[in-house]
Amino acid sequence: MFGLDKKDASLLLIVAVLVAFAPFFLNPFPEGSAMAQFNAGYPDLMQRFVIFGIFAIGFNILFGLTGYLSFGHAAFLGVGSYAAVWMFKLLSMNVVPAIVLAVITAGVFALIIGYVSLRRSGIYFSILTLAFAQMSFALAYSVLTPITGGETGLQLALDDPRIFGAATTAEGNIPVPGFFGLEMRDSTELVFGNWVFTFNVGYYFAAIIMLISFYLSIRIFRSPFGMMLRAIKSNQQRLNYTGLNPRPYTLAAFVISGMYAGLAGGLMASMDPLAGAERMFWTASGEVVLMTILGGVGTLIGPVLGAGLIKYMENIISKINSDILHSWFAFLPDGLEDVVVTLIYPFIGKGWHLTLGIVFMLVVIFLPGGLVQGGQKIAALFGRKKAKEPKNATTEPAE
């Protein structure tokens, strides 16, 4: 199917089913119940799942295949966001031209940075990419304020000189991004008993693009180009001895990865037409590194799982406060209830980073292959079949 072997096609189908029925899978608990706090099936969070999944997939093409660790990929995320918002301001509110410009702009920017950074490898490459990202952040925050909006960010205004489409709606409001008449914020709700499932246009638009991006990453992993990138990661010095120049391949991987990041930035601006310099800060670059390592470096679906885990913790675990904990443990005696809440509280709410750090440490120590390796171990545990030797088995001499 689509030029993939049976295993890859099955993986693509599984991912497609998961993203298609995400509003159901992410809302397992009825509204108003104590466990509804853990539901994640609302549009904004589902959009973040797939958008940062794209970001992590692109980063994995560079880090997972070549072994080059970039600490500056957030620069391409920010550049893509700025390009998309400018397209909304100058051309139209259709998301297609904005996303196309975001990908192209991020690709050109990645070509420039990659051409310089890839002259070095190892920690020196990582430091160079971090330096470029921080320079980009500083420029966007101060020097390039007329282009980027500075600390307030770049956003739409009523006086934007938009070529196609009106500058304002009939009600006098700023138009919202859309896809040929379908607004990204449009949603439909399905009420089933005490459950409420939300189907959002923006989410499904981003999900379709994520599936296409995932399919392209599979083709890259299985292509001769992907095999060359693996050879570079395995032993670049030995590859040099064969007479092959690995630099064009690593530069191509860097540009492709940057274009994925630009695509994610363009989608972020399409869901919420605002671009700020904070998207280029070093913490955003570190976040995608965590996503990839948690999910599984060099695996296909691992980065998507890692992105989902971190965004879930950031948006769900961080919202749990002491009042919610007290309501959960109200059945305990007062003294014991306070002790339990006191012990748990540092790991949730504002302390969710502590929980993330512990999870990351445990994964690195016990599951170097990330969540994918954990899933493989569980599958092997439940799917293991003991070979039973027949009772009447006889041993025959080899001829």
**pLDDT digit string (tens) for 60-91?**
999 999 999 999 999 999 999 999 999 999 99
Here the tokens at position 109 are 């920017």
Cα dist from 174 to 145, 204, 387, 389, whole Å: 22, 23, 68, 74
pLDDT for 1 equals: 67
Q: Average model confidence (pLDDT) for the chain?
A: 90
Largest CA distance in the chain: 91
Q: Is 15 left (phi over 0), alpha (psi -120 to 50) or beta?
A: alpha
Q: Which of 29, 55, 6 is nearest to 194 (CA)?
A: 29
Is the Cβ–Cβ distance between 269 and 85 less than 8 Å?
Answer: yes
- The vertex-312 CA angle with 354 and 187, nearest 5°, equals 155
More confident residue, 398 or 117: 117
- Whether 194 has a pLDDT exceeding 90, the answer reads no
Beta bridge partners of residue 187, listed in sequence order? 200
Contacts of 300 (CB under 8 A, 6+ apart): 8, 11, 214, 217, 218, 221
Q: Which of 247, 229, 373 is nearest to 301 (CA)?
A: 373
Beta strands in the chain (DSSP E): 154-155, 178-179, 182-183, 187-192, 195-200, 274-275
Going 72 to 281 to 295 to 270, the CA torsion angle's sign is negative
Q: Over the range 315-341, which residues count as b (16 or more CB within 10 Å of their CB) and which as e?
A: bbbbebeeeebeebbeeeeeeebeeeb
Q: Which of 294, 272, 336 is nearest to 51 (CA)?
A: 272
* 3-class DSSP state of 199: strand
Here the tokens at position 276 are 């700020």
pLDDT for 37 equals: 87
Separation between Cα atoms, residue 249 and residue 119, nearest integer Å: 13
Lowest mean pLDDT segment, chosen from 138-142, 154-158, 236-240, 364-368: 236-240
* 3-class DSSP state of 388: coil
- Whether 391 has a pLDDT exceeding 80, the answer reads no
Q: Tokens 């998207």 correspond to what residue?
A: 279
> What predicted TM-score, i.e. pTM, was given to this entire model?
0.92
Cα dist from 101 to 52, 63, 261, whole Å: 19, 25, 13
Question: Can you give the C-alpha Rg of the chain in angstroms?
Answer: 24
More confident residue, 395 or 176: 176
Separation between Cα atoms, residue 164 and residue 234, nearest integer Å: 51
The whole-number average pLDDT for the span 189-203 is 92
Separation between Cα atoms, residue 257 and residue 243, nearest integer Å: 26
Q: Which of 283, 288, 300, 312 is nearest to 369 (CA)?
A: 300
Q: Over the range 85-119, which residues count as b (16 or more CB within 10 Å of their CB) and which as e?
A: bbbbbebbbbbebbbebbbebbbebbeebbeebbe
Beta bridge partners of residue 192, listed in sequence order? 195
| pLDDT digit string, tens, across residues 253-269 | 999 999 999 999 999 99
Going 334 to 340 to 345 to 346, the CA torsion angle's sign is positive
The whole-number average pLDDT for the span 314-328 is 89
Q: Which of 279, 347, 352 is nearest to 315 (CA)?
A: 352
- Whether 320 has a pLDDT exceeding 70, the answer reads yes
Beta bridge partners of residue 110, listed in sequence order? none
Cα dist from 168 to 82, 85, 86, 110, 351, whole Å: 21, 16, 16, 35, 42
pLDDT for 385 equals: 54
pLDDT for 335 equals: 87
Separation between Cα atoms, residue 339 and residue 214, nearest integer Å: 46
What is the amino acid identity at position 137? F
Q: Tokens 């191509």 correspond to what residue?
A: 252
- Whether 43 has a pLDDT exceeding 90, the answer reads yes
Beta bridge partners of residue 200, listed in sequence order? 187
Here the tokens at position 219 are 């083709």
The whole-number average pLDDT for the span 148-172 is 85
More confident residue, 389 or 380: 380
Please, which pLDDT band fits residue 397 given cuts at 50, 70 and 90?
very low
The whole-number average pLDDT for the span 29-38 is 85
Q: Tokens 């914020």 correspond to what residue?
A: 185
pLDDT for 237 equals: 84
| pLDDT digit string, tens, across residues 15-27 | 999 999 999 999 9
